[in-house]
Amino acid sequence: MIILLRNCSNLRIVSLRLTPQFNEGHVFRTSLTDDCLKALALGCPMLQSFELIFWGCDEIYPEIGFTQEGLVMLIQSCPIRDFVLSGAHIFDDDGVKALSCAQFLETLELMNCMQITDAGMRFLARAPRLINLILRQCDGFTDDGVGEVIRACKLESLIVEGCSHVSQEAIQGAAKSVHYEEDYPGLLNLGRT
């Protein structure tokens, strides 16, 4: 992967769907490492959209092949406008704090990121260009944390699905377009193209 990424200077979109594989010593990891993320940051300086979806990552296996610091380095090194992160149990409030400094970030989708709390949402409220926020199956934050983002950011779109500690009342009128589902509709009904 590293060799491939060194020659992709015009690459603007990366979408990775990773499943941990059994590795030495009963450890499950993906093939994505901090070195891969560094190569992506250096080799793809025009990267604007990054989607990282993990399948089958359990919280009991927090080691997935790379660190939160590696992911943050990529986000801060490239002009990423759209960022999707699903199932990354390593991503927590410190990651959101670093993410909130991303100068170009306009659209953020967090799905099944259970380590993010109200403190992380308060950091996210500082994101200078955030206008689209999608939160799915994230149970670590509440109405209070989401309220901080709503008050601080001029959201055009807000989607909240299956976040058990966020109520419909808390997000009403929060953006030009607001969608709330108490339950999560499932991967097949996300409406992605």
Query: CATH 3.80.10.10 occupies which residues in the chain?
Result: 92-193
Question: For the segment 4-44, what is each residue's pLDDT rounded down to a tens digit?
Answer: 666 678 899 999 888 766 566 655 567 788 898 998 999 89
The answer to whether 64 and 98 are in contact (CB under 8 A) is no
pLDDT digits (tens, 9 = 90+) for 106-139: 999 999 999 999 999 999 999 999 999 999 999 9
Q: How far apart are CA 158 and CA 124, in angstroms?
A: 14
Quote the CA–CA distance of 31 and 131 in Å, as a whole number. 32
Q: Does domain 92-193 have CATH number 3.80.10.10?
A: yes
Q: pTM for this one?
A: 0.87
For the stretch 50-79, pLDDT in tens is 999 887 655 655 556 788 899 999 999 999
Query: Is-contact 152 130, C-beta < 8 A?
Result: no
> Distance between CA atoms of 161 and 171, rounded to whole angstroms?
12
Query: Strand 27-29 and strand 21-23: pairing?
Result: antiparallel
Mean pLDDT of all residues belonging to the chain: 87
